[in-house]
Amino acid sequence: MDFQSIKTNDPKEHAQNIEKYITQFKNFCHEESSLVNEPKAKALFETTSEVLGGLEKAFSDYQSENEGAWINDEERSTLQ
């Protein structure tokens, strides 16, 4: 996996770039789990994939502002 930085100061574009690599690594870990027979290694790789899935969702929520933690203070006051 070759990480490429992007030339922008837009935080959402950087989040999208990072999310892309998280997704790739999540899928890689899931694939690797099917290549081993040792139960502890299989569990480790699958757990890693699941944790990365949570990070993937957090990055997605940040970009779309779906999660309450990512709503800015001005928007929060209008929602109350």
**What pLDDT is recorded for position 76?**
57
Structural domain contains residue 74: no
Per-residue pLDDT of the chain (80 residues; tens, 9 = 90+): 788 889 999 999 999 999 999 999 999 999 999 999 999 999 999 999 999 999 999 999 998 887 776 666 666 556 55
Residue 80: per-residue pLDDT: 56
Question: The domain containing residue 38 runs over which residues?
Answer: 18-64
SS3 of the chain: the string is CCCCCCCCCCHHHHHHHHHHHHHHHHHHHHHHHCCCCCHHHHHHHHHHHHHHHHHHHHHHHHHHCCCHHHCCHHHHHHHC
Residue 24 lies in a domain: yes
Is residue 56 included in any domain, yes or no? Answer: yes
- What is the total count of domains within the chain? 1
Please tell me the pTM assigned to this model: 0.78
Quick check: is 80 in a domain? no
Does residue 13 lie within any of the structural domains? no
